[in-house]
Amino acid sequence: MNFPELQGNEQLKKSLSELERGGRMPHAVIISSGNAEGRRILTKRLSMWAVCSKDNPPCGKCKDCQNVQSDVHCDVYFAKGSGKTDIYKKEEIAAIIRDSYVKPNQALRKVYVFEDCDRKLPVISQNAFLKTLEEPPQDTLFILTCESSRSLLDTIRSRAVEFSLENTEQINEEAYSLAKEIARGIVSPGEINLLRSTYKMNDRALALDTLDSIAALLRDGLAVYIGSTAEIDSDTADLLCRKLTKSRFLKLIELTQDAKSKIYANVSLKLISLWLCAEYRRNVWQK
């Protein structure tokens, strides 16, 4: 079935058709990156594949496929979330897991969709899910969508097939240059430059990419510190080495990871910037 909406994403189309040709539907799929619309389109496509009973599914024309298109298929269930922030609580996960062992109503399979998992699927709920992904019920497809699969536990990621709507190898230039600014700010004597730079992480996606780049620059610096060579930027690595020790490098990398966790826990970016700036300074400049 041709899917013009996925045009331009050739790599993804290739892996999707390889998977479909193989005829083996995975039990769990993670759809990451891109925008919400793109993730929805791919969710529908996979749901159609799961419920379509024609040869070479998804046909796109049968009743099952059409019902998925119009969001009314009785075997495709979107988790609802609860509370002010629409979190998927562990009680909802437990109910879905119980339901997933009941046969589908009319289609070949049941599909359960969890959208915006970075924001809505906390670690406690991910843990509630784990056992089911280890021994999944038959005829079930779980679809988890997220901006970045880094928000999901490794143990979840390793049990799912991931489709990324963007070429993740692509370096985000804006994030990289901001990361460089921050890394250099960490070891410069005045606090103000560092604070200004961390405040520029004013957008969630930018902040996550920047933090990844900071961690990479710190690892690069650590490599130089222990006598290896820099792979990303030798100037920044040399600069960091003049001020940092091995244990400080490691501590800074840890802090950078913690900042990412705070983003996933929905702490405000301003607070995270302030916190990170203060912690970086405290660890580098304390006697």
Using CB under 5 A as the criterion, which residues of the chain lie in contact with Zn ion when the complex forms? 52, 54, 59, 62, 65
Structure tokens at 263: 């983003």
Token look-up 């799961």 returns 50
Structure tokens at 238: 């040399």
CB of 226 to Zn ion, least distance (A): 57
CB of 65 to Zn ion, least distance (A): 3
d(CA 173, CA 280): 23
Q: Which is nearer to Zn ion, 17 or 167 (CB)?
A: 17
CB of 72 to Zn ion, least distance (A): 15
d(CA 21, CA 159): 21
d(CA 244, CA 187): 8
Q: Which is nearer to Zn ion, 97 or 111 (CB)?
A: 111
CB of 45 to Zn ion, least distance (A): 11
Nearest residue to Zn ion by CB is 52
Q: Which is nearer to Zn ion, 52 or 208 (CB)?
A: 52
CB 143 within 8 A of CB 25: no
Q: Give the DSSP letter string of 58-86.
A: --S-SHHHHHHHTT--TTEEE---BTTTT
CB of 76 to Zn ion, least distance (A): 13
Strand partners, 141: 111
3-state secondary structure at position 173: helix
Q: Which is nearer to Zn ion, 141 or 186 (CB)?
A: 141
Q: Which is nearer to Zn ion, 59 or 206 (CB)?
A: 59
Strand partners, 32: 146, 164
